[in-house]
Amino acid sequence: MSRRSNLFAAVTLACITHAGLVQAETMSYADAITKLADDCGGDIRKFCKGLNLGGGRIADCLEQNAAKVSPVCKASVTSVVQSISLREQAQAAYSDVCKGDIAQRCRGIKGDGNILACLVKNKLVSGKCSQAITDAGWR
């Protein structure tokens, strides 16, 4: 019985760890856009010459030329969009998710940067807040 629950615990732990790892794979803008430049640079030069990155123009152009764009680039765009949005969600959620920890562990500290530094140093910060910081890319 105890053996079985240990096994169950191990499996559960493995799942949590795995989920944690998947979540942690949010990407910085720098890494995300580098992947896009690496995987789509050729296609952008070929099909979107003169278009600029901002305003969704490159994304629109790649979409319009989907039939000709390389599969590597297409896959890259999908993953880049996803990882950026995961990180944005984590950054947006941070203040709320970590509110309790900030009140409890970093009371009286002024400045958002100093508060973050306090949370990062504090080992007792809740798992949720800790994960939000990781996903936000702030370690």
Residue recorded with tokens 């030329």: 65
State which amino acid sits at residue 121: K
Q: Is 27 left (phi over 0), alpha (psi -120 to 50) or beta?
A: beta
CB 84 → another protein: shortest distance, Å? 8
Kindly tell me which of 12 and 28 has the beta carbon lying closer to another protein. 28
CB 134 → another protein: shortest distance, Å? 14
CB 130 → another protein: shortest distance, Å? 15
Residue 113 contacts another protein per CB under 8 A: yes
- What is the 8-class DSSP label of residue 125? S
Residue 115 contacts another protein per CB under 8 A: yes
Considering only residues 24 through 63, tell me which ones interact with another protein, judged by CB under 8 A: 28-34, 36-37, 40-41, 44-45, 49-56
Count of Cβ atoms closer than 10 Å to residue 16 Cβ: 11
Kindly tell me which of 55 and 71 has the beta carbon lying closer to another protein. 55
Q: Report how far apart, in Å, the C-alpha atoms of 133 and of each of 5, 74, 106, 108, 115 are.
A: 32, 29, 15, 20, 12
